[in-house]
């Protein structure tokens, strides 16, 4: 991180470094949310790997659920874990659910059209 900080110059580099420290410490609401989104994103990637036949990634899911404290993000992941729409990318489903703020009814309406 220090190399990245130094490569961006003092002001911008320090701001990036400070944001990274904030993320790592998870002391602000933004940092906590970003941490959860980072974990959820990795789990969505695991769903894509599983779809391609990599069964070993399923051990990853309970840990992700445990790290999600935001009710909307947890709900989004639980919907994705149902794996009901194999013909649609998990990332497309994930982004749609984020856009819909986890509204399950609207999600199913949109997915029925896909």
pLDDT of residue 38: 95
Mean pLDDT value of segment 8-25: 87
27-68 pLDDT, tens digit each: 899 999 999 999 999 999 999 999 999 988 988 899 999 999
pLDDT of residue 7: 87
Tell me the domain boundaries of the chain. 32-113
DSSP 23-90: HHHT-SHHHHHHHHHHHHHHHHHHHHHHHTT-GGGGGHHHHHHHH--SHHHHHHHHHHHT---TTS-H
């Amino acid at each position: 991180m220090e190399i990245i900080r130094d490569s961006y110059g003092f002001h911008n580099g320090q701001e990036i470094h400070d944001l990274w420290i904030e993320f790592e410490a998870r002391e602000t609401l933004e940092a906590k949310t970003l941490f959860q989104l980072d974990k959820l994103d990795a789990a969505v990637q695991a769903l894509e790997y599983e779809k391609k036949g990599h069964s070993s990634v399923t051990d990853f899911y309970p840990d992700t659920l445990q790290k999600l404290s935001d009710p909307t993000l947890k709900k989004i992941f639980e919907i994705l874990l149902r794996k009901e729409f194999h013909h649609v990318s998990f990332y497309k489903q994930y982004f749609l659910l984020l856009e819909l703020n986890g509204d399950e009814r609207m999600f199913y309406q949109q997915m029925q059209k896909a």
